[in-house]
Structure 1
Amino acid sequence: MNTVVTSKEDILRASRELIRQRGWSAVNIRSVAAACGVSVGSIYNYFDSKAALVGATVESVWGEIFRRPEDGAVFGDAQACIAWIYGQMEYGSRQYPGFFTLHSLGFLGEEKVRGQMRMQQTWQHIREELCAVLKRDARIRADAFTDLFTAERFADVLFSLMLSALLRQDYDPSAVLEIVRRTLY
């Protein structure tokens, strides 16, 4: 086996590919080293344990699924943003079968705390972005939000609907888009 040191991104790319081909159970230090064509020690240069490798892979998968689109206009329109998020959820489900379900069940035992932390960070980022989009969308009625019904609270409602859709594996945003139309425009 070649002992050439590879990059952290190469390791994560190989880990994501193993998941696509063989599922989450395929990710371990030896299989990733083999996929990268490097020694096991080369993987340990970047990750001190399987848990660390899996945790970084989880973060990498979240980053791939919800990477910012090239068309930034998506974040100026609430309906376009919601449709994009649902499309990304569908993409993530196809590329990484079971990923969302694993997270909803607490992910892997040894990586539970770090996995949940990464999931919460991603979810918080999505909620914050939804809220920002709701505040930026020029088409939303000026009186749509009040002291009681804030953009933050509506973003939480939308996010809850998205989580429910993830668990049901329902990636059709039409019902949520109708709620947004009737509530805000």
Structure 2
Amino acid sequence: MKKSQISKEALLDVANDIVFNEGSENLNIRTIAQRANVSVGSVYNYFPSKSAIVFALVEDFWKRVLQENLKEVPDNLNYASYVSSIYDVLYKYADQYQSLFISHYKTMSDEDKRTGLGLRDKQFRMFDQQFLKVLNQDETVKNDVWSETYTPKDFNRFVMMNILTALRTKQNSISILVQTIENVLY
């Protein structure tokens, strides 16, 4: 890549290629610079540390999942079907980036760990809002499900926590959760 073509996105593409083709253990600023045909200092202009690159990769990954892969999920799904479809997408990709983040997390400074947790929380809020929107728009939900103490927001949070647990424990199916959703809502 020519120096005139250098951009944050181009460097992220190089970093992404390294992670997927060679493994996250081979990700470092020197290798990115070498593969991008730029100076190490040029990489530091966009990413002050390896942690910043990891965070950018993780954020870019979730952005792509939300924007690109979720487009493939039909809009007319009920909440239970939506949860199942989205989980399949998340499961397909999450392991790759979880291993990237976890392998680097051990060597992060305390400040970078806090930043990483903040990034995780931001991504969780984005998914939470999207799922809640689908739940609120699901016209097939029984009318008498919700009360003052049993709200769509709380129910959705319960579902989200179970999805995160399933992803962390690498469960390839959430059929019990989907069946529970169906039993409660429909």
- The answer on whether the counterparts of 2:73 and 2:82 sit within 8 Å (CA) in structure 1 is no
1:13 lines up with 2:26 in the alignment: no
- Matches of 1:180 and 1:99, distance apart in 2: 32
Q: Which residue of 2 aligns with 1:109?
A: 108
**Aligned residue runs from structure 1 range 66-145, under 5 A:** 66-68=66-68, 69-71=70-72, 73-74=74-75, 77-93=78-94, 95-96=96-97, 98-99=99-100, 102=102, 108-110=107-109, 111-145=112-146
User: Amino acid of the residue matched to residue 151 of structure 1?
Assistant: P
- The answer on whether the counterparts of 1:161 and 1:176 sit within 8 Å (CA) in structure 2 is yes
RMSD: 2.6
- Name the CA shift for 1:129/1:25 in 2 (closer, same or farther; >3 Å): same
- Matches of 2:72 and 2:2, distance apart in 1: 41
- The answer on whether the counterparts of 1:107 and 1:115 sit within 8 Å (CA) in structure 2 is no
Deviation of the 1:114 alpha carbon: 1.4
- Matches of 1:164 and 1:140, distance apart in 2: 25
Identical-residue share of aligned pairs (%): 25
Unaligned runs of 5+ in 1: none
Task: Give CA deviations for 1:73-118 in whole Å, capped at 9, x if unaligned.
Answer: 4475212321222112222135446257x29x96652321211111
User: TM-score with structure 2 length normalisation?
Assistant: 0.84
Deviation of the 1:71 alpha carbon: 4.3
- Matches of 2:26 and 2:162, distance apart in 1: 32
- The answer on whether the counterparts of 2:54 and 2:100 sit within 8 Å (CA) in structure 1 is no
- The answer on whether the counterparts of 1:14 and 1:36 sit within 8 Å (CA) in structure 2 is yes
Task: Give CA deviations for 1:8-51 in whole Å, capped at 9, x if unaligned.
Answer: 11111211221112332322211111222222122122122222
Unaligned runs of 5+ in 2: none
1:181 lines up with 2:182 in the alignment: yes
User: TM-score with structure 1 length normalisation?
Assistant: 0.85
My pick for the range that moved more, 55-64 or 165-174, is 55-64
- The answer on whether the counterparts of 1:15 and 1:32 sit within 8 Å (CA) in structure 2 is yes
- The answer on whether the counterparts of 1:127 and 1:155 sit within 8 Å (CA) in structure 2 is yes
- The answer on whether the counterparts of 1:58 and 1:115 sit within 8 Å (CA) in structure 2 is no
